[in-house]
Structure 1
Amino acid sequence: MDYDCDSNKEAFNESSDQRYLNTRHHWIVWSTGHYTNIEFARLNVDSEVTWATPDSSQQGIDLYDLYKINFTWPIIATPAGHWDRKNGLVYNVTRFKYLRRNNLHHLNFDTAIVVFNHSMVVDNIHEHLITHEESNFTTRMTKASYAQLLMLSEIFNFTMTLLLTDSSNFGPFENGSFQGQIGMLQRNEAKLSPSPLLFYRARDVAADFVSAIWYFDTAAMFRHPKVSAVGNALLQPFTVLVWMCVLGTWLLVLLTLKTSAWLESTYSDESTVESSWSATMLATVGAVSEQGSEMESKWVTFRIVLLFTMVQVVLLNNYYGGGIVSSLLTEPPKTIRTIQNLIDCNLQVGYEDTNYNRGFFQQTTDPLVHILYKKKIFPPTESYPSAYRVDIGVKKMKDEPFVFQIEQIQAYPHIDRTFTDSEKCALTEIPLFTSMVGPVFALVQKGSPYKHILAYGFQKVRERGLMKYKWQEWQPPKPRCLLTRDVVSVEIN
């Protein structure tokens, strides 16, 4: 573009007002004047504007890479190269853009931090966000994300003013506006937010998602009740089909022995074998119970059948005894595994008192979750839903038959401190909102010029392993079941 042309100058000024001097549009502007002539232009850190002007000898052209830290700050010009007829184009800008522009000169960002309890007095928000002390003020997810943003502030040399908001982001309203951190970004009350959110199309219209910085997951947690002994425990080692085959085999043995004994006693004059049903029944029972038989037959048929029965019983006893022993040593089965099981069981159900949990129950399309909510969480007979703070909900899990819907990492520290080993081993988790979990993203204003530099910073943190380090620091592991022991075979010479 020839900036000295009046029509081009007007087009450039209009493009500046429309914020087209950004990373999506690359500009080469020719002018005989100095680049300070466009000091008014709405350049920013993501701008791709090259200023071309004659050099001092008037025989070549000097190129300058122009950008600003902020729309209202002075232009920063970096010599980008030179052109003349003898040497042609010599372009010196070879490094990645945000490696060259990695100093934001203490630019201050108004930063939205999501909290759950506005009535809680916190003297120093920054100190609270970097401490591991448990509270009901905000989540570990926000603290871990803020820790990553602090690393970016050191890399790019910017500062933050922390502003508090709630987590009501399940909009939008009819006019397209949101509450929570998205609402603050829409109203220009904040420039970015490290309190991450799941990606929804409705949210993408109102704010830009920068980079995935956390994995959000929730589940319904409870102590699985002990399974009482069942009446057919002695029949469990074998399936019904196996038992039917075994009984059929024994019945066939009984009939074969009876037929063989009758034929021998009828057609053999020297036979002393008794062919009555009672004697045959006793012989069969003796063989099945590995006690032998008093019936003495000289016929090979009788002896083969009796031998077959005893061999079969020895094999059955081995497998049956092994099945009984293994059933006593293995962990009791957990019968509550699905949402339908939660609906049918006698456990009470509640959820962590947060806006996103309320939004999940309102927005889910799973009919079973709706039934669970209406039957056990907010039945028509109650005035309020069963919503509790983390510490209260975990205590109810310990003391009562209670199911608590929560982000697991919020509950793990409380469980680890208060539950016994047997209670930790009984801990069970059932996901209720499988479509509402996944990676969550830091946010900036829609069309923000700082989106790409922050995305580059988060990627840099991820590649160097610092993001994983912060995850491990802020994600407590699931409480271990110490009653379970691995059996290790040891060879003794």
Structure 2
Amino acid sequence: MWIQFKVSYNVNTLLCYFINATQQFRLTHSWGLLAPNGTWNKDSMIDRIRQRDDEVNGVGLVIMKHRMSAVRYLARTSKSRASFIFRMPALSYVSNILRLSFQPNLWVGVGILALLMLAIIKFLFSFEVKRNASKDRAYNIESLSLQKSWASMSVFLVGSFCQQGVEKEPEGVSGRVGTFFVYLAVLFLYTSYSANIVALLQASASIETFEDFTQSPLKAGLLDFELSRILFENSTNPIRKQIFDEKVGPKGYYNYAKGVEKIRKGLFAFYAEPGIMFHVISKTFEESEKCDLQEILTPGEFSALFHATPHKSPYIEVFRNG
């Protein structure tokens, strides 16, 4: 934003040259804060223009509804904006990656497959018990009879999914082939699930809207600047107010160096002018860390700075033509 101040100074210099006037600058401590009783803080820029102590502002002003009655805006001085910049957090910080490994439809398919395998194994085990009983192979009938119940089959299937063995296995060809394919299917599922977990551990979360931002674990900070307090701490915008109450707090104001440092540590978003922030980032961040940066604008964000003059100033048309 300091670049915009330099632009405003040059615009004022050209404007005074155009109307053959002499510049006389006065330093103020504030742009202008409106008190609850409707008065502006004394000697602020808005207050001095409103009372015609100054005919035009020396640096650009952001258009705000409550300022419209105090000053008259003339023309845009320069483009300007502010935004939240942060490093994209790991996906595991935002979502439950144990559920994200498979799509919901695939989880349904896994459940159907498990029921199908349970029915097939139940049939194969029951068939082998009956076949052994018909051949008078009593040594195996007792053990298989214990396993042919639905509860035993469920324990067998859970053991398969957990890659654990069972106490007794079928001895017939059909039962062993069925058991082999159950283990094979579970092996493929387990391998795919593990591979997706590893991939998701290395992925970054997607935070593109303010709904994503407010629901994320990111903390936030604001540039220690009067405009930040106006836009957030004293804002009537519900989203900005929510951000300040839930993520910033009354002690969440930092300078550029501290704010960028906290961005680098992760899980922190800093609100300031992007140009200056990226200048500081270029000096402190590693190249790999810059790849994680994300920028998000707040609703109703300002996009330009304007010159202003008193409502009854005799120089309004002169300034406009200039």
Secondary structure at the counterpart of residue 169 of structure 1: coil
Secondary structure at the counterpart of residue 440 of structure 1: strand
Contact 2:28–2:45 at 8 Å: present in 1 too?
A: yes
Q: What whole-Å deviation, never above 9, does each CA across 1:45-78 have from its counterpart, x for those lacking one? A: xxxxxxxxxxxxxxxxxxxxxxxxxxxxxxxxxx
Contact 2:61–2:306 at 8 Å: present in 1 too?
A: yes
Contact 1:288–1:310 at 8 Å: present in 2 too?
A: no
Asked whether 1:139 is paired with 2:2, we answer yes
Whichever residue aligns with residue 306 of structure 2, its letter is F
Contact 2:33–2:40 at 8 Å: present in 1 too?
A: no
Q: What whole-Å deviation, never above 9, does each CA across 1:331-358 have from its counterpart, x for those lacking one? A: 3677x9534656xx7x5x6543322223
User: 1:42-53 alignment to 2 at 5 Å?
Assistant: none
Which runs of 5 or more residues in structure 1 are unaligned?
1-137, 379-384, 458-493
Secondary structure at the counterpart of residue 60 of structure 2: strand
CA 1:169–1:309 in structure 2 vs 1: closer, same or farther (change >3 Å)?
same
TM superposition shift of 1:184: 2.7
**CA distance in structure 2 between the aligned counterparts of 1:176 and 1:284, rounded to whole angstroms:** 73
Q: What whole-Å deviation, never above 9, does each CA across 1:338-385 have from its counterpart, x for those lacking one? A: 34656xx7x5x6543322223334421335345348xx643xxxxxx5
Secondary structure at the counterpart of residue 114 of structure 2: helix
User: 1:75-474 alignment to 2 at 5 Å?
Assistant: 139-148=2-11, 156=18, 158=20, 161-163=23-25, 164-171=27-34, 174=37, 179-193=43-57, 195-222=59-86, 236-239=100-103, 242-243=106-107, 245-263=109-127, 266=130, 276=144, 295-297=172-174, 316=189, 320=193, 323-324=196-197, 326-327=199-200, 329-331=202-204, 338-339=213-214, 341=216, 350-365=221-236, 366=238, 367-369=241-243, 371-372=245-246, 377-378=249-250, 385=251, 387-395=253-261, 397-398=263-264, 404-427=270-293, 434-435=299-300, 437-448=302-313, 450-451=315-316, 454-455=319-320
Greater C-alpha radius of gyration: 1
- Structure 1 or 2: larger strand share? 1
**CA distance in structure 1 between the aligned counterparts of 2:161 and 2:227, rounded to whole angstroms:** 68
TM superposition shift of 1:172: 6.2
CA 1:328–1:360 in structure 2 vs 1: closer, same or farther (change >3 Å)?
closer
Identity within the alignment, %: 22
Whichever residue aligns with residue 421 of structure 1, its letter is E
Secondary structure at the counterpart of residue 161 of structure 1: coil
Tell me the TM-score normalized by structure 1.
Answer: 0.45
**CA distance in structure 2 between the aligned counterparts of 1:447 and 1:158, rounded to whole angstroms:** 21
Contact 1:337–1:430 at 8 Å: present in 2 too?
A: no
TM superposition shift of 1:238: 1.6
Secondary structure at the counterpart of residue 59 of structure 2: strand
Relative contact order (C-alpha < 8 Å, sep 6+): which is higher?
A: 2
TM superposition shift of 1:427: 4.3
CA 1:237–1:372 in structure 2 vs 1: closer, same or farther (change >3 Å)?
closer
TM superposition shift of 1:237: 1.4
**CA distance in structure 1 between the aligned counterparts of 2:88 and 2:179, rounded to whole angstroms:** 49
Q: How many residue pairs align between the two structures?
A: 297
**CA distance in structure 1 between the aligned counterparts of 2:225 and 2:162, rounded to whole angstroms:** 64
Secondary structure at the counterpart of residue 74 of structure 2: strand
